[in-house]
């Protein structure tokens, strides 16, 4: 039986059979399905992406605010009082020397009017305390005592407070010192705020 050598020759050009109409429709449907799948997948990534990129539960827990409690704040305030006492002793000494030298220039003695010197020393102490708390709180939100015990005074949204807030807060100390009620309020308040904090719109947090 004779075989057409041209039909089976490896080098012969063989044209592919044309696609039928049914095969073309199947190919078009497959392309459309692939495109719709890609579109749905991109939409799914956009919707689910922010949730996956959000903070982990551990990170959210780390961001929780820890308020400065009564006893920690009382300890920090005690340290500040010690620092203020040392500064006051220096101020008292230099004031005493200057006052005595000034009176000696007028042939007078400090013992001629001791009450006058005590008034100067008293108001000098108040001025020193006002400068201390206003300057340190307004500058960094921390006095020396708060710095040692890891506390900081902040405003709303944990923003640094202004010098005006620091000054108002210092004035509020006198209000809180009324029978100590303003300081005891720290124990009762959910955010551990005393009357001076409420007055100045400040909070104390642990770092």
Q: Where are the domains of the chain?
A: 21-59, 70-206
Q: What is the C-alpha to C-alpha distance for residues 178 and 7, in angstroms, rounded to an integer? A: 114
pLDDT tens-digit profile of 79-107?
A: 999 999 999 999 888 877 877 777 777 67
User: Closest Cα partner for 161 from 109, 204, 105?
Assistant: 204
Q: What is the C-alpha to C-alpha distance for residues 78 and 207, in angstroms, rounded to an integer? A: 19
What pTM did the predictor assign?
0.65
pLDDT tens-digit profile of 25-39?
A: 555 555 555 666 667
89 three-state secondary structure: helix
From the CB of residue 165, how many other CB atoms can be counted at a distance below 10 Å?
Answer: 21
């Amino acid at each position: 039986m004779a075989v057409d050598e041209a039909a089976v020759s490896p080098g012969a050009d063989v044209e592919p059979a044309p696609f039928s109409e049914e095969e073309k429709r199947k190919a078009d449907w497959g392309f459309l399905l692939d495109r719709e799948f890609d579109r749905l997948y991109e939409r799914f990534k956009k919707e689910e992406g922010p949730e996956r990129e959000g903070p982990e539960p551990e990170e959210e827990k780390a961001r929780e605010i820890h308020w400065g409690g009564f006893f920690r704040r009382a300890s920090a305030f005690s340290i500040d009082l010690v620092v203020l006492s040392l500064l006051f002793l220096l101020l008292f000494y230099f004031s005493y020397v200057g006052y005595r030298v000034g009176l000696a220039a007028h042939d007078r003695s400090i013992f001629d009017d001791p009450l006058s010197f005590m008034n100067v020393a008293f108001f000098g102490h108040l001025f020193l305390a006002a400068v201390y708390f206003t300057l340190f709180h307004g500058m960094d939100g921390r006095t020396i005592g708060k710095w040692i015990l890891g506390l900081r005074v902040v405003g709303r949204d944990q923003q640094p407070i202004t010098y005006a807030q620091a000054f108002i807060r210092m004035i509020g100390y006198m209000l809180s010192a009324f029978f100590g009620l303003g300081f005891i309020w720290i124990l009762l308040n959910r955010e551990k705020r005393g009357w001076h904090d409420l007055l100045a719109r400040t909070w104390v947090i642990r770092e």
